[in-house]
Amino acid sequence: MGCNPRIVMAIVIALISIVSYYAYRVYNPVTGETQHINIDQQTEVALGLQASGEMAAQFGGLHPDPAAQERVDRIGQRLVSRSGAAKGNYPFEFHVLGDERTINAFALPGGQVFITAGLLNRLETDGQVAGVLSHEIVHVVGRHGAEHIAKQQLTQGLTGAAVLATYNPDDPSSRGSAAVALLIGQLVTMKYGRADESESDRWGVKFMAEAGYDPRAMIRVMEVLREASEGRGAPPEFFSTHPDPGRRIEEIEEAVRELYPNGVPAELER
């Protein structure tokens, strides 16, 4: 009895995807982790630069106020130059986006960091701006985007293999199995994203402190976001790309206690 060619091909695709993913191991000098990444930093930078224009266009382009841009530049570069983020050796660029209605911040691979005017206008101190930017900086130096690319390629390979093995074009009912396989892949990707957000909060606390900012300002950022959500009657876009602030506040408070068991120094800027 011969083997089903679709099953054989599916196994081959799955094996190639798994071997390719685990074959690439890169040490991260900032976090001390060994990561599965299959692109180099130059490629990350190039990808981020290529996507930055389109990303900015989706949020009203760059903000016309030079004072707002100078403020974000100053805080962002202070965070990078005075913290462990400098070990990543990324050419960071910080951008204020013109959208005053959307409340969001995000980072692209390679060092492109964005904050909307809608979020910046709600932040009361430089320390709170630093809280947002430090979180996004960690996404870059933690190479979360590059990790996501590698995981996405693995997921696509495995789900492609599952679809090939389970889908029979002569049997319409097999489409359900293919859809389930794709859904599983999406859930795996979502799981990794949330782990990245937690890591960005923890390391963001550390980077803030190293740069002379009071990391408790990050807690106030979460409260500002929650207040914005209550005032609008709907969650700001920030919540679509970041976990709910409730649990995050607890994790940030825990990270602050671990960093300063005897209390936060009074001289840190809030």
Question: Domain-by-domain residue ranges, the chain?
Answer: 5-259
Paired strand residues for 113? 94, 107
Tens digits of residue pLDDT in 15-65: 665 666 567 789 999 999 999 898 899 988 988 898 899 889 999 999 999
Question: pLDDT of the chain along its 270 residues, tens only?
Answer: 556 666 666 566 556 656 665 677 899 999 999 998 988 999 889 888 988 998 899 999 999 999 999 999 999 999 999 999 999 999 999 999 999 999 999 999 999 999 999 999 999 999 999 999 999 999 999 999 888 877 776 655 555 545 445 555 555 554 444 544 444 444 334 343 678 889 999 999 999 999 999 999 999 999 988 888 776 555 555 655 566 667 889 999 999 999 999 999 999 999
**Amino acid 8: pLDDT:** 63
Name which of 139, 90, 47, 192 is nearest 38 in CA terms: 47
What is the C-alpha to C-alpha distance for residues 120 and 103, in angstroms, rounded to an integer?
8
Name which of 82, 194, 66 is nearest 134 in CA terms: 82
**Amino acid 70: pLDDT:** 98
Task: Evaluate whether 226 touches 245 at the Cβ level (below 8 Å).
Answer: yes
The angle at the Cα of 72, spanning 66 to 74, to the nearest 5 degrees, equals: 95
**Amino acid 67: pLDDT:** 98
Distance of CA 1 to the CA centre of its chain: 50
Residue type, 48: G
Instruction: Calculate helix-pair angle for 5-23, 144-166, nearest 10 degrees.
Output: 170
Paired strand residues for 168? 171
Name which of 224, 204, 220 is nearest 270 in CA terms: 220
pTM of the model: 0.80
**Amino acid 237: pLDDT:** 56
Alpha helices in the chain (DSSP H): 5-23, 41-57, 66-81, 117-120, 126-141, 144-166, 175-210, 217-232, 238-241, 245-259
